[in-house]
Amino acid sequence: MKSIISKSKLTHRVKQIRRKGTNHVCTKRKFGMNNFGYYLVALAGMLAVVLSQGTSAQAQRYSEWFPPVNLGPVINTTSSDQGPAISKDRLSLYFTSDRTGGIGGFDMYVSHRESVDEPWGAPKNLGPIVNTTFDEGNPSFSRDGHLMFFQSKRSGGFGGIDIWVSRRNHTHDDFDWEPAVNLGSAVNTAADDNAPSYFENDETGVPQLYFASSRPGGLGGLDIYFSEEAADGSFGPATLLTELNSVGGDSRPSIRHDGLEIIFQSNRGGTTGGNDLWVATRESTHDAWSTPQNLGNSINTAFAEQNPYLSPDNLTLFFGSDRPGGSGGPDLYMSTRKQLRR
Protein backbone atom coordinates (compact mmCIF):
# COMPACT_ATOMS: atom_id res chain seq x y z
CA MET A 1 0.00 0.00 0.00
CA LYS A 2 1.40 3.40 -0.95
CA SER A 3 1.87 6.05 1.71
CA ILE A 4 -0.62 8.94 1.59
CA ILE A 5 1.96 11.35 2.97
CA SER A 6 5.58 11.80 1.99
CA LYS A 7 8.49 11.16 4.36
CA SER A 8 9.51 14.82 4.30
CA LYS A 9 5.98 15.98 5.13
CA LEU A 10 5.74 13.52 8.00
CA THR A 11 9.06 14.66 9.42
CA HIS A 12 7.96 18.28 9.18
CA ARG A 13 4.62 17.54 10.86
CA VAL A 14 6.25 15.73 13.80
CA LYS A 15 8.66 18.64 14.35
CA GLN A 16 5.77 21.09 14.09
CA ILE A 17 3.72 19.29 16.75
CA ARG A 18 6.72 19.00 19.04
CA ARG A 19 7.17 22.75 18.85
CA LYS A 20 3.48 23.27 19.68
CA GLY A 21 3.82 20.87 22.59
CA THR A 22 6.07 23.37 24.36
CA ASN A 23 3.11 25.75 24.52
CA HIS A 24 0.91 24.17 27.20
CA VAL A 25 -2.09 26.43 26.61
CA CYS A 26 -2.13 25.96 22.84
CA THR A 27 -1.60 22.21 23.08
CA LYS A 28 -4.28 21.69 25.73
CA ARG A 29 -6.84 23.77 23.84
CA LYS A 30 -6.36 22.12 20.46
CA PHE A 31 -5.69 18.52 21.38
CA GLY A 32 -5.98 17.94 25.07
CA MET A 33 -2.87 16.55 26.79
CA ASN A 34 -3.74 12.86 26.25
CA ASN A 35 -4.87 13.29 22.65
CA PHE A 36 -1.74 15.22 21.81
CA GLY A 37 0.45 12.39 23.07
CA TYR A 38 -1.50 9.80 21.10
CA TYR A 39 -1.32 11.92 17.96
CA LEU A 40 2.43 12.38 18.27
CA VAL A 41 3.00 8.66 18.81
CA ALA A 42 0.83 7.83 15.80
CA LEU A 43 2.73 10.23 13.58
CA ALA A 44 6.07 8.88 14.79
CA GLY A 45 4.87 5.37 13.98
CA MET A 46 3.85 6.41 10.47
CA LEU A 47 7.24 8.04 9.97
CA ALA A 48 8.98 4.84 11.06
CA VAL A 49 6.95 2.85 8.53
CA VAL A 50 7.87 5.24 5.71
CA LEU A 51 11.54 5.14 6.69
CA SER A 52 11.51 1.34 6.77
CA GLN A 53 9.85 1.31 3.34
CA GLY A 54 12.67 3.53 2.07
CA THR A 55 15.25 1.09 3.48
CA SER A 56 13.51 -1.86 1.83
CA ALA A 57 13.37 0.00 -1.47
CA GLN A 58 17.11 0.73 -1.23
CA ALA A 59 17.74 -2.97 -0.68
CA GLN A 60 15.93 -3.63 -3.97
CA ARG A 61 18.22 -1.35 -5.93
CA TYR A 62 19.13 -4.23 -8.26
CA SER A 63 17.27 -7.18 -9.74
CA GLU A 64 18.18 -10.77 -8.99
CA TRP A 65 21.11 -12.24 -10.92
CA PHE A 66 20.23 -13.80 -14.27
CA PRO A 67 21.41 -17.35 -15.14
CA PRO A 68 25.17 -17.39 -15.80
CA VAL A 69 26.73 -17.76 -19.23
CA ASN A 70 29.98 -19.59 -19.97
CA LEU A 71 32.54 -17.21 -21.51
CA GLY A 72 33.26 -19.77 -24.22
CA PRO A 73 36.24 -21.53 -25.80
CA VAL A 74 38.14 -18.34 -26.63
CA ILE A 75 38.58 -17.74 -22.87
CA ASN A 76 38.18 -21.20 -21.34
CA THR A 77 40.36 -24.27 -21.93
CA THR A 78 40.60 -27.83 -20.68
CA SER A 79 42.87 -26.44 -17.95
CA SER A 80 41.84 -24.49 -14.84
CA ASP A 81 40.60 -20.98 -15.73
CA GLN A 82 39.51 -18.88 -12.77
CA GLY A 83 40.16 -15.73 -10.67
CA PRO A 84 38.61 -13.15 -13.07
CA ALA A 85 38.82 -9.34 -12.86
CA ILE A 86 37.44 -6.74 -15.26
CA SER A 87 38.88 -3.31 -16.06
CA LYS A 88 37.01 -0.07 -15.41
CA ASP A 89 36.13 0.37 -19.10
CA ARG A 90 35.06 -3.32 -19.22
CA LEU A 91 37.31 -3.92 -22.22
CA SER A 92 40.03 -6.00 -20.54
CA LEU A 93 39.33 -9.27 -18.77
CA TYR A 94 42.11 -10.56 -16.53
CA PHE A 95 42.14 -14.08 -15.12
CA THR A 96 44.29 -16.92 -13.82
CA SER A 97 45.10 -20.13 -15.68
CA ASP A 98 47.45 -23.08 -15.58
CA ARG A 99 47.09 -23.70 -19.33
CA THR A 100 50.07 -24.85 -21.33
CA GLY A 101 52.58 -22.24 -22.48
CA GLY A 102 52.71 -20.33 -19.21
CA ILE A 103 55.70 -19.22 -17.17
CA GLY A 104 54.77 -20.87 -13.88
CA GLY A 105 52.11 -23.17 -12.48
CA PHE A 106 49.35 -20.52 -12.55
CA ASP A 107 49.85 -17.33 -14.56
CA MET A 108 47.72 -14.24 -15.12
CA TYR A 109 46.32 -13.61 -18.59
CA VAL A 110 44.36 -10.81 -20.23
CA SER A 111 41.78 -10.81 -23.02
CA HIS A 112 40.79 -7.58 -24.76
CA ARG A 113 37.77 -6.48 -26.79
CA GLU A 114 37.24 -3.32 -28.84
CA SER A 115 33.86 -2.49 -27.29
CA VAL A 116 31.45 -3.99 -24.74
CA ASP A 117 29.42 -5.36 -27.67
CA GLU A 118 32.38 -7.12 -29.28
CA PRO A 119 33.59 -10.66 -28.46
CA TRP A 120 36.66 -11.28 -26.34
CA GLY A 121 39.96 -11.67 -28.13
CA ALA A 122 42.48 -14.45 -27.62
CA PRO A 123 44.01 -14.25 -24.11
CA LYS A 124 47.66 -13.24 -23.74
CA ASN A 125 50.04 -14.03 -20.91
CA LEU A 126 50.92 -10.88 -18.94
CA GLY A 127 54.58 -11.83 -19.22
CA PRO A 128 57.58 -12.10 -16.89
CA ILE A 129 57.25 -8.60 -15.42
CA VAL A 130 54.16 -9.83 -13.53
CA ASN A 131 54.26 -13.62 -13.75
CA THR A 132 57.01 -15.81 -12.32
CA THR A 133 57.90 -19.49 -12.25
CA PHE A 134 55.70 -19.67 -9.13
CA ASP A 135 51.90 -19.16 -8.96
CA GLU A 136 50.18 -15.80 -9.54
CA GLY A 137 46.45 -15.09 -9.53
CA ASN A 138 43.29 -13.38 -8.29
CA PRO A 139 43.99 -9.88 -9.65
CA SER A 140 42.02 -6.85 -8.45
CA PHE A 141 42.21 -3.23 -9.62
CA SER A 142 42.09 0.18 -8.00
CA ARG A 143 39.23 2.35 -9.20
CA ASP A 144 41.50 4.46 -11.44
CA GLY A 145 43.10 1.36 -12.98
CA HIS A 146 46.66 2.30 -12.04
CA LEU A 147 47.10 -0.45 -9.41
CA MET A 148 46.71 -4.20 -9.68
CA PHE A 149 46.72 -6.24 -6.48
CA PHE A 150 47.23 -9.99 -6.76
CA GLN A 151 48.47 -13.05 -4.90
CA SER A 152 51.73 -14.90 -5.52
CA LYS A 153 53.84 -17.68 -4.06
CA ARG A 154 57.05 -16.15 -5.45
CA SER A 155 60.18 -15.86 -3.36
CA GLY A 156 60.77 -12.74 -1.30
CA GLY A 157 57.51 -12.98 0.62
CA PHE A 158 56.66 -13.74 4.23
CA GLY A 159 55.32 -17.26 3.97
CA GLY A 160 53.11 -19.28 1.68
CA ILE A 161 50.97 -17.02 -0.52
CA ASP A 162 51.44 -13.23 -0.21
CA ILE A 163 49.64 -10.22 -1.66
CA TRP A 164 51.57 -7.98 -4.03
CA VAL A 165 50.80 -4.82 -6.00
CA SER A 166 51.95 -3.63 -9.42
CA ARG A 167 51.54 -0.13 -10.84
CA ARG A 168 51.14 1.14 -14.38
CA ASN A 169 51.14 4.65 -15.83
CA HIS A 170 48.91 4.02 -18.84
CA THR A 171 45.59 2.54 -17.77
CA HIS A 172 44.64 1.40 -21.27
CA ASP A 173 47.88 -0.55 -21.75
CA ASP A 174 47.54 -4.07 -20.39
CA PHE A 175 51.29 -4.63 -20.63
CA ASP A 176 52.50 -1.48 -18.88
CA TRP A 177 52.71 -3.12 -15.44
CA GLU A 178 55.84 -2.51 -13.39
CA PRO A 179 57.58 -5.09 -11.15
CA ALA A 180 55.35 -5.95 -8.20
CA VAL A 181 55.96 -4.90 -4.59
CA ASN A 182 55.06 -6.97 -1.53
CA LEU A 183 52.44 -5.28 0.67
CA GLY A 184 54.46 -5.93 3.81
CA SER A 185 54.07 -7.63 7.18
CA ALA A 186 50.84 -5.89 8.25
CA VAL A 187 48.97 -7.71 5.48
CA ASN A 188 51.19 -10.72 4.78
CA THR A 189 52.14 -13.38 7.32
CA ALA A 190 53.77 -16.80 7.42
CA ALA A 191 50.33 -18.19 6.56
CA ASP A 192 48.49 -17.86 3.22
CA ASP A 193 47.26 -14.32 2.50
CA ASN A 194 45.41 -14.01 -0.77
CA ALA A 195 42.37 -12.94 -2.83
CA PRO A 196 42.68 -9.12 -2.48
CA SER A 197 39.92 -6.59 -3.18
CA TYR A 198 40.79 -2.87 -3.02
CA PHE A 199 38.04 -0.54 -1.79
CA GLU A 200 38.38 3.25 -1.99
CA ASN A 201 36.13 4.39 0.84
CA ASP A 202 34.66 7.73 -0.21
CA GLU A 203 32.88 8.24 3.13
CA THR A 204 36.05 8.16 5.22
CA GLY A 205 38.66 8.95 2.57
CA VAL A 206 40.71 5.96 3.75
CA PRO A 207 41.18 3.13 1.21
CA GLN A 208 40.82 -0.42 2.49
CA LEU A 209 42.14 -3.75 1.29
CA TYR A 210 39.85 -6.73 1.81
CA PHE A 211 41.51 -10.13 1.58
CA ALA A 212 41.49 -13.71 2.87
CA SER A 213 44.00 -15.30 5.24
CA SER A 214 44.63 -18.61 6.98
CA ARG A 215 46.56 -16.89 9.82
CA PRO A 216 45.90 -17.99 13.40
CA GLY A 217 43.07 -16.28 15.27
CA GLY A 218 40.36 -16.64 12.65
CA LEU A 219 37.09 -18.56 12.79
CA GLY A 220 37.82 -21.11 10.07
CA GLY A 221 40.38 -22.34 7.60
CA LEU A 222 40.29 -19.10 5.60
CA ASP A 223 38.79 -15.87 6.90
CA ILE A 224 38.11 -12.42 5.47
CA TYR A 225 40.08 -9.45 6.84
CA PHE A 226 40.56 -5.81 5.93
CA SER A 227 43.47 -3.41 6.30
CA GLU A 228 43.43 0.38 5.96
CA GLU A 229 45.91 2.16 3.74
CA ALA A 230 47.93 5.00 5.23
CA ALA A 231 48.76 8.24 3.42
CA ASP A 232 52.23 6.92 2.55
CA GLY A 233 50.74 3.86 0.79
CA SER A 234 51.56 1.37 3.54
CA PHE A 235 48.89 -0.81 5.11
CA GLY A 236 47.91 -1.03 8.76
CA PRO A 237 47.17 -4.08 10.93
CA ALA A 238 44.56 -6.46 9.55
CA THR A 239 41.13 -6.62 11.19
CA LEU A 240 39.03 -9.79 11.21
CA LEU A 241 35.54 -9.26 9.78
CA THR A 242 33.77 -11.55 12.23
CA GLU A 243 30.28 -10.96 10.83
CA LEU A 244 31.30 -12.29 7.41
CA ASN A 245 33.27 -15.35 8.50
CA SER A 246 32.33 -18.89 9.50
CA VAL A 247 33.99 -22.06 10.76
CA GLY A 248 34.35 -23.05 7.12
CA GLY A 249 36.49 -21.33 4.50
CA ASP A 250 35.59 -17.77 3.42
CA SER A 251 37.59 -16.13 0.66
CA ARG A 252 37.81 -13.92 -2.44
CA PRO A 253 35.74 -10.94 -1.28
CA SER A 254 34.63 -8.56 -4.03
CA ILE A 255 33.21 -5.29 -2.74
CA ARG A 256 30.90 -2.97 -4.64
CA HIS A 257 32.39 0.45 -5.40
CA ASP A 258 30.12 2.22 -2.91
CA GLY A 259 31.09 -0.28 -0.20
CA LEU A 260 27.52 -1.40 0.50
CA GLU A 261 27.62 -4.91 -0.96
CA ILE A 262 30.20 -7.67 -0.78
CA ILE A 263 30.21 -11.02 -2.58
CA PHE A 264 32.55 -13.85 -1.62
CA GLN A 265 32.99 -17.61 -1.78
CA SER A 266 32.35 -19.91 1.17
CA ASN A 267 31.85 -23.57 2.00
CA ARG A 268 29.92 -22.78 5.21
CA GLY A 269 26.76 -24.54 6.29
CA GLY A 270 23.97 -23.96 3.79
CA THR A 271 26.31 -24.33 0.83
CA THR A 272 24.94 -26.52 -1.97
CA GLY A 273 28.27 -27.37 -3.63
CA GLY A 274 31.96 -27.47 -2.80
CA ASN A 275 31.92 -23.66 -2.65
CA ASP A 276 29.01 -21.26 -3.13
CA LEU A 277 28.87 -17.52 -3.68
CA TRP A 278 27.42 -15.52 -0.78
CA VAL A 279 26.45 -11.86 -0.39
CA ALA A 280 26.21 -9.39 2.49
CA THR A 281 25.11 -5.74 2.52
CA ARG A 282 25.15 -2.73 4.83
CA GLU A 283 23.44 0.67 5.03
CA SER A 284 26.67 2.69 5.17
CA THR A 285 30.39 2.03 5.30
CA HIS A 286 30.29 2.83 9.02
CA ASP A 287 27.93 -0.10 9.68
CA ALA A 288 28.63 -3.79 10.21
CA TRP A 289 27.81 -6.20 7.40
CA SER A 290 24.50 -8.04 7.39
CA THR A 291 24.31 -11.79 7.89
CA PRO A 292 25.59 -13.32 4.62
CA GLN A 293 23.00 -14.86 2.32
CA ASN A 294 23.52 -17.58 -0.28
CA LEU A 295 23.13 -16.17 -3.81
CA GLY A 296 20.80 -19.09 -4.56
CA ASN A 297 20.41 -21.62 -7.33
CA SER A 298 20.37 -19.00 -10.09
CA ILE A 299 24.14 -18.76 -9.47
CA ASN A 300 25.19 -21.71 -7.31
CA THR A 301 25.09 -25.40 -8.21
CA ALA A 302 25.98 -28.74 -6.62
CA PHE A 303 29.48 -28.08 -7.96
CA ALA A 304 31.99 -25.38 -6.91
CA GLU A 305 31.46 -21.69 -7.61
CA GLN A 306 34.41 -19.53 -6.68
CA ASN A 307 36.45 -16.34 -7.10
CA PRO A 308 33.66 -13.78 -7.73
CA TYR A 309 34.45 -10.36 -9.15
CA LEU A 310 31.87 -7.58 -9.40
CA SER A 311 32.22 -5.25 -12.39
CA PRO A 312 32.79 -1.50 -11.83
CA ASP A 313 29.21 -0.72 -12.96
CA ASN A 314 27.91 -3.29 -10.42
CA LEU A 315 25.84 -5.07 -13.08
CA THR A 316 28.03 -8.03 -14.04
CA LEU A 317 29.38 -10.79 -11.83
CA PHE A 318 32.31 -12.86 -13.11
CA PHE A 319 33.28 -16.10 -11.36
CA GLY A 320 34.71 -19.58 -11.85
CA SER A 321 32.78 -22.85 -11.77
CA ASP A 322 33.46 -26.52 -12.50
CA ARG A 323 29.80 -27.25 -13.31
CA PRO A 324 29.01 -29.56 -16.24
CA GLY A 325 28.94 -28.05 -19.70
CA GLY A 326 32.28 -26.28 -19.49
CA SER A 327 35.53 -26.80 -21.36
CA GLY A 328 37.49 -28.63 -18.68
CA GLY A 329 38.35 -27.80 -15.10
CA PRO A 330 36.93 -24.60 -13.63
CA ASP A 331 35.65 -22.31 -16.39
CA LEU A 332 34.89 -18.60 -16.32
CA TYR A 333 31.23 -17.55 -16.25
CA MET A 334 29.36 -14.27 -16.08
CA SER A 335 25.95 -13.25 -14.79
CA THR A 336 24.18 -9.91 -15.15
CA ARG A 337 21.49 -7.99 -13.28
CA LYS A 338 19.47 -4.83 -13.90
CA GLN A 339 19.50 -1.62 -11.90
CA LEU A 340 16.00 -0.99 -10.61
CA ARG A 341 16.54 2.42 -9.03
CA ARG A 342 19.37 4.86 -8.40
Taking a C-beta distance cutoff of 8 angstroms, is the pair 137, 151 a contact? yes
pLDDT exceeds cutoff 50 at 51? no
Share of the chain above pLDDT 70, in %: 83
In single-letter form, the type of residue at position 101 comes to G
- Out of 1.10.10.10, 2.120.10.30, 1.10.150.570, 3.40.50.1820, the CATH code matching 69-336 is 2.120.10.30
pLDDT exceeds cutoff 60 at 273? yes
Query: Which residues neighbour 133 within 8 Å (Cβ) at sequence distance 6 or greater?
Result: 103, 104
Question: Would you state the pLDDT for residue 146?
Answer: 98
Taking a C-beta distance cutoff of 8 angstroms, is the pair 275, 297 a contact? no
Question: Would you state the pLDDT for residue 8?
Answer: 42
pTM metric for this prediction: 0.83
CA distance 58 to 5: 19
How large is the average pLDDT for residues 198-204?
94
Question: Would you state the pLDDT for residue 328?
Answer: 83
Residue ranges per structural domain of the chain: 7-59, 69-336
How large is the average pLDDT for residues 112-136?
97
pLDDT exceeds cutoff 80 at 322? yes
Q: Please state whether beta strands 305-310 and 316-321 pair in parallel, antiparallel, or not at all (unpaired).
A: antiparallel
Question: Would you state the pLDDT for residue 124?
Answer: 98
| Each residue's pLDDT tens digit, 206-244 | 999 999 999 999 999 999 999 999 999 999 999 999 999
Question: In the chain, at which residue ranges do the beta strands (DSSP E only) sit?
Answer: 69-70, 81-86, 92-97, 107-112, 124-125, 136-141, 147-152, 162-167, 181-182, 193-199, 208-213, 223-228, 239-240, 250-255, 261-266, 276-281, 293-294, 305-310, 316-321, 331-336
Taking a C-beta distance cutoff of 8 angstroms, is the pair 207, 156 a contact? no
CA distance 14 to 65: 40
| Each residue's pLDDT tens digit, 55-104 | 333 458 999 999 999 999 999 999 999 999 999 999 999 999 999 999 99
Share of the chain above pLDDT 90, in %: 80
8 or 206: whose pLDDT is higher? Answer: 206
Question: Would you state the pLDDT for residue 342?
Answer: 79
Going by C-alpha positions, the residue among 173, 341, 316 that lies closest to residue 254 is 316
- 140: confidence class by pLDDT, cuts 50, 70, 90: very high
